[in-house]
């Protein structure tokens, strides 16, 4: 969608993102904390049944930079449609159906729960299998360690998280959604920027393919 923001061109892109990981790792808390700008930490656990959709706009610098001729640079907003997916095995089949046409994935684990860390490769594989079944390319994903305020003895360390992210070709983020929150914005900004960059690349390819 293209509009005018003052004199500048205002471009809005929409991107569907699967947010997944084991039950109770803090996916809904992370999405809500981001959506509310840090004001709404879900302290009481309320299991997501199926999928909740959270819409979160992210304003980013234009990937293609200012156009020539002194025109103000376009503003780009990526509207993330976060498909906050239940981690309960009971809902798995139903949830995966909601993932149709997702562009990107965020996989979460709770740093104080090693089993949730060990599940990460399975969630990544589920996302990649779905993309393959849809004939689409590799899905870029962010790996998010949650509940870093609980980090301590016996927890999954940041080094382990980072090593797994590298192994799986993902970017690693450490977060805490517990008030006041820490690092909550970074994974969403990364996902939005990744989407805008890939959109810009595809647009360039299409322009290149059209005879002038
Ligand atoms: N200390 C702490 N607790 C957290 C954090 N994030 C979430 N929690 C708590 O962990 C519990 C589960 O959080 P949810 O966000 O509902 O977990 P979920 O991953 O959405 O769970 P499902 O919907 O069942 O898949 C809640 O009681 C939250 O308050 C965090 O960063 N720090
Ligand atoms: Mg949830």
pLDDT tens, 16-31? 999 999 999 999 999 9
| Ligand 1 site-directed mutation target among 19, 24, 110, most atoms within 8 Å of CB | 24
Nearest alpha carbon, ligand 1 atom 21: 24
Q: Quote the percentage of the chain above a pLDDT of 70.
A: 89
pLDDT the model gives residue 180: 92
Q: How confident is the model at residue 4 (pLDDT cuts 50, 70, 90)?
A: low
Q: Find the 44 Cα to ligand 1 centroid distance in Å.
A: 8
**Residue 211 within any structural domain of the chain:** no
Tokens of 203: 């647009």
pLDDT the model gives residue 206: 67
- Residue range of the domain that includes 149: 2-184
**Residue 199 within any structural domain of the chain:** no
**Residue 14 within any structural domain of the chain:** yes
Determine if the peptide bond prior to 180 is cis (ω within 30°).
Answer: yes
For residue 167, give the CATH number of its domain: 3.40.50.300
**Residue 94 within any structural domain of the chain:** yes
pLDDT the model gives residue 7: 65
**Residue 63 within any structural domain of the chain:** yes
**Residue 153 within any structural domain of the chain:** yes
Q: How confident is the model at residue 168 (pLDDT cuts 50, 70, 90)?
A: very high
Given a contact cutoff of 8 angstroms between Cβ atoms, the answer to whether 17 and 102 are in contact is yes
| Nearest of 146, 106, 120, 153 to residue 24 by alpha carbon | 146
pLDDT the model gives residue 73: 73
CA-based R_g, the chain, Å: 18
pLDDT tens track for 87-132: 998 777 777 778 888 889 999 999 999 999 999 999 999 898 888 8
Q: What is the pTM of this model?
A: 0.91
**Residue 192 within any structural domain of the chain:** no
**Residue 171 within any structural domain of the chain:** yes
Quote the number of domains for the chain. 1
Pocket (CB within 6 angstroms of ligand 1): 23-29, 42-43, 45-48, 86-88, 146-147, 149-150, 176-178
Q: Find the 129 Cα to ligand 1 centroid distance in Å.
A: 27
| Nearest atom, ligand 1, residue 21 CA | 19
């Amino acid at each position: 969608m293209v509009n005018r923001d003052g004199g500048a061109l205002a471009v809005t892109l929409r991107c569907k993102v699967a947010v997944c990981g084991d039950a109770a790792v803090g996916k809904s808390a992370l999405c809500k904390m981001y959506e509310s700008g840090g004001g709404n930490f879900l302290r009481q656990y309320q299991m997501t049944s199926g999928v909740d959709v959270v819409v979160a706009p992210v304003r980013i610098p234009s990937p293609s930079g200012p156009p020539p001729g002194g025109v103000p640079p376009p503003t780009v907003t990526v509207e993330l449609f976060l498909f906050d997916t239940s981690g309960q095995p009971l809902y798995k089949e139903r949830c995966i159906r909601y993932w149709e046409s997702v562009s990107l994935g965020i996989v979460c684990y709770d740093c104080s729960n090693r089993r949730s860390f060990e599940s990460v490769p399975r969630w990544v594989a589920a996302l990649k299998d779905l993309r393959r079944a849809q004939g689409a390319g590799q899905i870029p994903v962010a790996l998010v360690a949650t509940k870093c305020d609980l980090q301590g003895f016996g927890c999954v360390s940041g080094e382990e998280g980072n090593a797994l992210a590298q192994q799986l070709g993902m970017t690693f983020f450490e977060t805490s959604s517990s008030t006041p929150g820490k690092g909550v914005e970074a994974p969403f900004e990364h996902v939005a920027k990744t989407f805008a960059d890939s959109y810009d690349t595809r647009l360039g390819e299409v322009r290149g393919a059209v005879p002038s």
